[in-house]
Structure 1
Amino acid sequence: HISVIDNELYYIQNLRDFLNHCSTWLILKGYLMIQCYHSKDALKIAFSKYGENSELRYKNMYKGTFHTYENNDLITYIETITDHDESRKNYHTLMYYSKEYIEELASLYQLYLIDTEPITKYESILVFQKL
Structure 2
Amino acid sequence: MDKVRTFSSGATRDTAQGKLDYVKALSPIVLRRYVQYLDGHRLQSDGLYRDFDNWKKGIPQETYRSSQGRHFIDDWLLFEGYTTEDNHGSVEVEDTICAQLFNLMGRLHEILKAQLKEEAKVDHETGAARTAPIPNGY
TM, length-normalised to structure 1: 0.25
More helix as a share of residues: 2
More strand as a share of residues: 1
